[in-house]
Amino acid sequence: MTDMPLVSVVVPVYNVEKYLDRCVQSVVGQTYDNLEIILVDDGSTDGSAVICDNWASSDGRIKVIHKKNAGLGMARNSGMDSAGGKYIFFFDSDDYVDTKTVEKCVSTAEKNDSDAVIYALCDVYDDGRTSEKEIVTDKTFFVGDEVQNEVLPGMFTYSMGFGISSCGKMYRLSKIKELNLKFKSEKEIISEDAYFILELFSQIKSVSIIKESLYYYYKRSNSLTRTYKADRQKQNDVFLIKCVELARQNNLSRQVINHVTARYHMYSITAMKQIVAAELPLKEKQTELNKIFKSNVLRKSLMADVIKLHNKRLGLFYTLLKHKCYFACKIILFLKRN
């Protein structure tokens, strides 16, 4: 398919020697040939860097960037700066993709003149179980204000079956460069994916949907996203503040802000669960939970229009929190810790 447009695939790599071959093999084995595959070694300390170089030696479409460790967002930026394709994908190095992912996305984008293509994901667990994420909208093409009024809110609450990960999507690279968009550092904002998606999708005009699962997301039980960090809720608060500022700057609707706030609530409940699961004395756990419960940012976010976006269980929890039923909230968290 050398007559088809060049497609860039950026894969940040950091200490994933166990999974890297599987990921790269799924990319080089695509039915779509006209690829540039950019492996960004973000200062790996295991054998990942050597694996990257070996792949580059065996396939001329692969180039490797070795850089000092600076985090996922910065690694993606390095790959994006080096990319020259019409379209670009971001794949995580412990995940893998269907052999027709690129072909189907490019075909759809070319047919509809899409700024982005979103496709379904399939979760893969340590024990081999899989769980497909069904896309539940009947529409397969969104144009103009539909992107901001339907797609963007849906991504932040997963109400349409797809989320705010930069994976699971293909983008028109010229649009990203025209808007001068970059991923933020994780040190600056938690969930750099979500902020990037909010920036991009608040300004693009056409999005296509493929309902088929084309990306396999590996849910490692020891993932960094599941570990306790003492400053997690402060990071969550910064996330909400910055996202609301961006939404207002780009004249996004109250609906979008509500859905972004609902995503913040999901991050906050995760922070609470991590405290409960942490190896801390019970008294310290309660102290840390109280700090979150009484956070000014969280308390101001407990609006009825946001709470109703949650499922019944989470909606009940945040209703109790809104009414300062802290003891009941703690009981729920400790009962659900397993």
* Mean pLDDT (whole number) for 78-105: 98
Q: How many whole angstroms separate alpha carbon 63 and alpha carbon 56? A: 6
Does the residue 71 lie in any domain? yes
My answer on whether 206 and 234 are in the same domain is no
My answer on whether 166 and 276 are in the same domain is no
My answer on whether 175 and 275 are in the same domain is no
My answer on whether 79 and 189 are in the same domain is yes
Residue 224 pLDDT > 70: no
User: Which amino acid belongs to residue 229?
Assistant: K
Reported confidence tier of residue 53, pLDDT bands at 50, 70, 90: very high
My answer on whether 204 and 247 are in the same domain is no
pLDDT tens per residue, range 291-305: 999 999 999 999 999
What's the total number of domains in the chain? Answer: 2
CB-based contacts of 214: which residues, under 8 Å, 6+ apart? 97, 98, 100, 101, 104, 105, 119, 120
pLDDT of residue 196: 97
Does the residue 137 lie in any domain? yes
My answer on whether 139 and 254 are in the same domain is no
My answer on whether 186 and 164 are in the same domain is yes
Q: How many whole angstroms separate alpha carbon 160 and alpha carbon 154? A: 5
pLDDT of residue 258: 98
Does the residue 131 lie in any domain? yes
pLDDT of residue 2: 44
Does the residue 319 lie in any domain? yes
The CATH code of the domain that includes 102 is 3.90.550.10
My answer on whether 276 and 312 are in the same domain is yes
* Residue 93: φ, ψ to 5°: -75, -10
My answer on whether 203 and 62 are in the same domain is yes
Which of 170, 203, 219 lies at the terminal end of a domain, its last residue? 219
My answer on whether 184 and 101 are in the same domain is yes
Residue 226 pLDDT > 80: no
User: Which amino acid belongs to residue 142?
Assistant: F
CA atoms within 13 Å, Cβ hemisphere of 268: 29
My answer on whether 119 and 244 are in the same domain is no
**How many other C-beta atoms are found inside a 10 Å radius of the C-beta of residue 296?**
8
Does the residue 245 lie in any domain? yes
Which of 198, 219, 240 lies at the terminal end of a domain, its last residue? 219
Does the residue 1 lie in any domain? no
My answer on whether 123 and 186 are in the same domain is yes
* Mean pLDDT (whole number) for 10-35: 98
Nearest CA-CA partner of 7 in 31, 29, 37, 28: 37
Q: How many whole angstroms separate alpha carbon 52 and alpha carbon 142? A: 38
Question: Which residue's entry shows tokens 């994908």?
Answer: 89
Does the residue 80 lie in any domain? yes
Does the residue 2 lie in any domain? no
Q: Are 55 and 17 within 8 A, CB to CB?
A: no
Domain that holds residue 253: 227-335
Reported confidence tier of residue 338, pLDDT bands at 50, 70, 90: low
Q: How many whole angstroms separate alpha carbon 11 and alpha carbon 8? A: 10
Q: Beta partners for 118? A: 169, 209
Q: Which of 125-139, 161-175, 246-260, 285-299 has the lowest mean pLDDT?
A: 125-139
pLDDT of residue 336: 76
pLDDT tens per residue, range 251-268: 999 999 999 999 999 999
Mean pLDDT for the chain overall? 95
Which of 187, 219, 251 lies at the terminal end of a domain, its last residue? 219
Reported confidence tier of residue 18, pLDDT bands at 50, 70, 90: very high
